[in-house]
Structure 1
Amino acid sequence: MTNQNETKLFPAIFAAGLLSFSGVIVETAMNIIFPVLMKEFHINTATVQWMTTAYILIVSIFVPISAFLKRRFKTRSLFITANLLFIIGLVIDSIAPTFSILLSGRILQGVGTGIALPLMFNIILDWAPENRKATLIGVGTLITAIAPALGPTLGGIVLNSLGWHWIFILLLPLLVISFILGFFSIGQAHDTEKKGFDFFGWVAIILTFVGLTLAFNNLSIIDSKPIQFIGWLLIGLLGLVCFVYQTSHSKRPLINLSIFKNWSFNWHILAFFLIQSIVLGLSFILPNYIQLVDGKSALLAGFFVLPGAAIGALLAPFGGRFMDIFGEARAVLSGAAIVLIAMILFSAFGLVLSGQAILLIYAFLMVGVGIVMANTMTSGLAQLSVFHQADGNAAFTTLQQFAGATGTSLVSAIITLQQDRPIGTMAVNTARGSMYAFILLLAFIVFAIIFLVAALRTRKTA
């Protein structure tokens, strides 16, 4: 790496990270204003959840082709395209008069984020010296992890003072800064390759994520319309089978499936998926619990979850250092153990959580998340060769986004099922649904720990 590239590395990471940051901050700010959107557009919890689900679904569809895009197009061109799409989406949402138009803007933002999100980590993998990659992955994680810390608070403040449209308007200057920094700092590490695109493989990916996401979304009506759930689930599973078959026989696969022959990598990515599902599932549950059960304002809901999210974000860049000092096993397992204890507390007291209790337990949980997340990704990618790391990054980033759709859809469905009960108040039914959702997320962390133990036992030690 030349000195010129060294001086441009941090601005390039920051530019790509700022774009990803904007996508996550809108996502978490939306969770705060869901009750307001439900009243304004006369929709229920399952419908308003599409603001998050549709966005994450679109991101999940585009991230898997990031390895192809990286090899086919110049990195700067990809960044510019992603940035402009996100800006258009923000403009649409800033003036949206109906829920359908609001949703269309989120979809465009999802396309932009889906292209941009892998760019930050690909820039690190391409340009960073080996002895700094773990630290810079932590810094990259910080950029996107700080967004959940600020999102709920930003949503509450803006909602109470300006109105929800301003959440989108206020992000436009950040996107302009990101565009300028990226335009002048993002370079090209490798020559582009004019290879064909596995279109049928991508269609199979779309069927997989659309089918599985809609299946999870239809859990809220499974008692009255079970065919819809089963139908979408079968479509998702069929898409997955078709993707594996097509990719195995394609001369230009979107993702090299040979990375999944490494079982340590597989265990790492499964654990990462479950923990990310917990984090984003809680980002939906907690703000709504504080408002609908405890009767607090959106602003207070944002402030109650701010300390925990901030702790998790600030610990992210230091997670690699923690692993360097104590080793992989102690780092990831201690972080996962903290998440386990926190989820036990949420599940045990799910019916009677006060805002203060949520603040303390969530802050404790995010200490564990800050330690375990970045280290799990770093350790997992370390199991792959340099040639396969772009594919590994695409796999991690894809499942990270799909985890959001999975976590939020599942907990939303569980809560909606309880809210629709003919007996009990909205507050009581929301609390009961939240408790059941906490128990599901508790099961997730138990399985994540099992997977992490398996990953550590089979990892490369050289």
Structure 2
Amino acid sequence: MTLADQRWLIFCIASGVFASVMSTSMLSIAFPDLVQFFSISYETLQYRNILFFTFFAVGLPFFGKITDRIGARLVYLTGLSLFVLSCLISSVMTHWYGFLFFQSTQAVADAMIVPAIVTLIRHHFPDERVGWAFGWFSATLSLATIVGPALGGLILKTYEWHALFLVLAFCALISLILGWIRIPAYSTDEKPSGNASIPWISSLSLLAGIIILQMFLLEPSNIGMLVAALSALGGFCYGEARHMPLLPKGFYWHTRFLNACVRVFLIFMVINTIALYGPSYLRDVHHWPTDRIGWVILVESVTGMLFANLAGRAADRYPLSAMGSGMGLSLLGISLLLWTAFGVGSIWMFLFIYLLIGIGHTLTMPAQNKIALLSVPRQQTGNYMGLFQMIQFLTGAFAGGVFGSRVETDGVGRIDPFGFRWTMWICVGLLAGAFITVLVDRCLSKRRTDQSDAFDACH
């Protein structure tokens, strides 16, 4: 496969989540409009985030296993088709519960697409080009986040929020056509296994348990919800023990993979918290119009696209250094964002903040994904990386459940400075924990190198 063919292929693969990434940034700007349209509070709005991210996250290892069983291309194209349908129906919803249902359907579609994409990268690119592939993948995602906030702000300035979903459906349809035409059926080493068990009990029990647990976090006085959540998680343990496991067998022996899972949880708790509440913070506290918010957030996206190729190359050569440097820049940006909640902040400061966060995320993610991807068995890529991505995207549900009621401490349906400051302090602590996992990874790499040198010396 030539370099041009590889670029075309990674563009087609990455375009599958283009609309999904745009939906996150567009809807984060539209949250105040959703609150008004459905006559709900920010706390009630978090049920959308809880359901969306939980269906998405729990579906990742499930559809990862399905991908290993029937092949990545089929799962990818099916997920895109479902995404188009769910967006079209969400655009005409006028009832809150109907909107929640079809947003959950959209999350299922995303859960089909993402593990299929990672599996396609693993099977169609050599190991020494995986970081490069994830770099271009990040560039495509950055393009989506460039278009999303600016386009979303302009749409909301002229039309109702319903129009956002029509745009998303159109973009996903384009990706579906590209994938159908350009993505090969199988690579030379991709061998779908048709006899793998489907973990229905584990998946449904885990889904119910996490949803109920998140609702308990919103209403901690409701002990019945806690009991129900623990019962559902007990059903998950039963399903795992009945030889229909959702989680990959023996994954807990992969020390580097487990360390990567801890790190991705901490990093994405921070990323999703800022993505969920940053735009609303600018609207409610600094009283910015939606189009200005879109252009400021655009800085992070442009930075991501410009530095994506460099970050991918750094991930192939110095993954741990790239990751540590990226987290350091993100920490600086979040510290400045925390400072603005004390009443300080011009548009230039916010531009600088999102520039730092953009460079930080761009450096971190290709290295993080490569370390996790190459630490798992090739023929179980979908199942392992589905688990990895489940942990990554469950943070969206946790960010909504944990911080939803705390960012609006005045209880009047808007974000206030005190609640946002408290949330940003937590984000600083989470990033500090992520730094520790990088140090652990360095120790694991050094130990593995020392063992390899000792083996060579003996032979």
* TM over 0.5, shorter chain: yes
Q: Distance in 2 between matches of 1:312 and 1:232?
A: 42
Q: Would the alpha carbon gap of residues 194 and 380 (structure 1) be closer, same or farther in structure 2, given more than 3 Å must change?
A: closer
1:47-446 equivalences in 2 (<5 Å): 47-186=44-183, 187-189=185-187, 190-199=190-199, 202-222=200-220, 225-227=221-223, 230-231=226-227, 234-235=230-231, 237-238=233-234, 241-242=237-238, 245-246=240-241, 250=243, 253-324=245-316, 327-354=318-345, 356=347, 357-416=349-408, 418-420=409-411, 430-446=416-432
Q: Would the alpha carbon gap of residues 53 and 148 (structure 1) be closer, same or farther in structure 2, given more than 3 Å must change?
A: farther
SS at match of 1:170: helix
Q: Which has the higher contact order (CA 8 A, sep 6+)?
A: 2
* Superposition RMSD in Å: 2.6
Q: Distance in 1 between matches of 2:328 and 2:363?
A: 11
Contact 2:65-2:383 at 8 Å conserved across structures: no
Q: Distance in 2 between matches of 1:340 and 1:270?
A: 18
Q: Would the alpha carbon gap of residues 71 and 230 (structure 1) be closer, same or farther in structure 2, given more than 3 Å must change?
A: closer
Q: Would the alpha carbon gap of residues 229 and 440 (structure 1) be closer, same or farther in structure 2, given more than 3 Å must change?
A: farther
Q: Distance in 1 between matches of 2:278 and 2:418?
A: 13
Contact 1:16-1:120 at 8 Å conserved across structures: yes
Q: Distance in 2 between matches of 1:241 and 1:109?
A: 27
Q: Distance in 1 between matches of 2:377 and 2:173?
A: 36
Listed one character per residue, the Cα deviations across residues 161-209 of structure 1 (whole Å, up to 9, x for unaligned) are 122111111223322221221112221233433214243xx43344334
Q: Distance in 1 between matches of 2:148 and 2:212?
A: 26
Listed one character per residue, the Cα deviations across residues 198-246 of structure 1 (whole Å, up to 9, x for unaligned) are 43xx433443344334433443433xx2425634653565356446x42
Contact 1:78-1:116 at 8 Å conserved across structures: yes
Matched residue type, 2:268: Q
1:105 deviates by 2.3
Q: Distance in 1 between matches of 2:326 and 2:8?
A: 30
SS at match of 1:378: helix
1:447 deviates by 0.8
Q: Distance in 2 between matches of 1:145 and 1:51?
A: 24
1:34 deviates by 0.8
Matched residue type, 2:39: H
After the TM superposition, which of the residue ranges 211-220 and 84-93 deviates more from structure 2?
Answer: 211-220
Report the TM-score, using the length of structure 2 for normalisation.
0.88
Contact 2:79-2:112 at 8 Å conserved across structures: yes
After the TM superposition, which of the residue ranges 314-323 and 283-292 deviates more from structure 2?
Answer: 314-323
Q: Distance in 1 between matches of 2:76 and 2:391?
A: 21
Q: Would the alpha carbon gap of residues 232 and 453 (structure 1) be closer, same or farther in structure 2, given more than 3 Å must change?
A: farther
Q: Among the aligned pairs, what percent are the same residue?
A: 20
Listed one character per residue, the Cα deviations across residues 408-440 of structure 1 (whole Å, up to 9, x for unaligned) are 332223214x132xxxx877x611111111111
Matched residue type, 1:303: W
Contact 2:155-2:163 at 8 Å conserved across structures: yes
Matched residue type, 2:150: T
Q: Distance in 1 between matches of 2:235 and 2:159?
A: 44
Q: Distance in 1 between matches of 2:273 and 2:7?
A: 31
1:11 deviates by 4.4
Report the TM-score, using the length of structure 1 for normalisation.
0.87
1:444 deviates by 0.8
Number of aligned pairs? 444
Instruction: Show structure 1 runs of 5+ residues with no match.
Output: none
Q: Would the alpha carbon gap of residues 230 and 400 (structure 1) be closer, same or farther in structure 2, given more than 3 Å must change?
A: same
